[in-house]
Every structure is written in C-alpha cells, then in structure tokens.
Amino acid sequence: MRVLVDRVSKVYRDRSGTELAALDAIDLAVESEEFVALVGPSGCGKSTLLGIIAGLLPATSGRVVFEGERRTGTPLAATVFQEFALFPWRTVRANVELGLEELGVSRDERARRARRVLDVTGLAGFEARYPHQLSGGMRQRVGIARALAVEPAVLLMDEPFSALDAQTRTLMMEELLGIWEASRQSVLYVTHNIQEAVYMADRVVVLSRRPGRVLDVVAAGLARPRTESLQGHPAFVGAVERIWSLIRVEAQAAIEDPEA
C-alpha cells in the first residue's frame, strides 16, 4: 500500500493559547513495499509525523492518504516504539497476540498468525517466556512481531533500536532487513543515525529543524540484499555526506539563533 502525506502541518497550543509549530506542510510518499527512513535534527517533529500517520495525533492541516487495497479487518498502520512496550505479565506469544485480540480475531487465527511471525522474527521456541526472561534485542523482536501479526498496510518504526547497545543494534538492523525482505511491508523508519538510515532504506527523507519541513529526499542507491561491505560503496558514502551536510547546516543555525 502507498502512503501519501499531503501538506501536513502540526501546531501545538498550550492552555494559555501559546502556539508551537512542530511540522510545516510536509509532503512525502512511501510507495508499496518501500523502506523509507526519516531523519533530522532533534525536535524536528519526526515522532509527531509518525503519530499523525498512525492516527494517534490529529494534523492541524493537511491529510494522510492510504492508497491501495488491504485485507478486511487489518489496520492501516502499526507502530514499533523506542520502548519495548511489552506487558510483563504476558508471555511472548500472548504479547504478540495482543493486537489481534483487540481486532477480534478468532483464537485459531491468532495462533496461526502468531506462529508465522514468531518464526519470521526468530522467536520460535520462546513463546512461553516472559519479557524479563529475554534480552533487550529479543524484547524488541517481540514488539516487531506484535506489529507484523496484525498485518498492517504500513509499518511505522520510531527509533526502535535506540535503547540497545551498539553490537545488539547492528545485529537487529540485519535481522530487521531480513524480516523486511520476507514480508515486504511498506516501512517508514525514524532514526537519528544517518548511516543506519542509508544502510536500511531505499530513500531517506531529511527534515529541517522545527518546524519540520522536507529539505531533501536522498536515494540510498544501494543494491539489495544489503551487506556490511556496502557501507564502503561510493553511493553509501555520498548519501551519508549529503544528508549530514543538510543536518549540519540546520544544527548550526539552531545554535546561532535558537529562538528562530
């Protein structure tokens, strides 16, 4: 399914009526089966945009359009958050089935879908474990499995590996790419890490400092499946340098004029 973000703006207002513009006329698209990353300076509205696409926040203006067919009873979007967001009293399988329960999916169908995504995410054999019995990387796999189980048209990921150590993060990036190759979900992936964005995505959308605007859309230009050796490829280096040059200008402007 294709996701079209059409001139979406978001303004927050506090109780006194003071306004804070978070997003300004965002235009972007995530094509069917495409992996798009979203980067930008801290506070530029990346998570706000994901919340709007997910239907968790209202846009002040503009619209989000989902184009294409989807299965009856499946959500348009599912989100994997920074925090693991698992229920500690539920087993791995019960956590994975949570969204399916909320959708009213039958017991047999819940079990079938859970088995499938547990296999895909490498969690088969851990169904009866509880979150406290798992490593950080495995807990985040449960979060990914839970999102995939509801078979969303689009998978939204908000810095899903930021709480992990560097080694586990690298391993989880590889695993996520393997999962994506198998599922071919449309993905919008938020990260602060430029190298991660280029390595994972087909295209990288670069936002300005607040209020977030689209500065550029940079194609990764790398073949799939991705391998670590591609991080030395001229296309990878060029994309990273292009994105960093844009973000560096925005960060410097924020330092020189923090009130702007």
| Domains of the chain, CATH where assigned | 1-66+193-260 (3.40.50.300)
DSSP state of 133: G
| One-letter amino acid of 38 | L
Coil, helix or strand at residue 9: strand
Question: In sequence order, which residues have a C-beta less than 8 Å from that of residue 37 and are 6 or more positions away?
Answer: 188, 189, 190, 191, 196, 197, 198, 200, 201, 203, 204, 205
Condensed to tens digits (0 to 9), the pLDDT of residues 133-186 reads 998 888 988 988 898 888 888 999 999 888 788 888 888 888 889 888 888 889
* 163 and 105 Cβ atoms separated by less than 8 Å: no
Report residue 189: phi and psi, to 5°. -120, 115
Coil, helix or strand at residue 79: strand
Coil, helix or strand at residue 254: helix
Per-residue pLDDT of the chain (260 residues), as tens digits, is 899 999 999 999 988 888 999 999 999 999 999 999 999 988 899 999 999 999 999 999 999 999 887 776 778 899 988 777 889 999 999 999 998 998 889 999 999 999 988 988 888 999 999 999 998 888 988 988 898 888 888 999 999 888 788 888 888 888 889 888 888 889 999 999 999 999 999 999 999 999 999 999 999 999 999 988 899 999 999 999 999 999 988 877 766 666 65
Report pTM: 0.89
Q: Which residue is associated with the tokens 């300076």?
A: 41
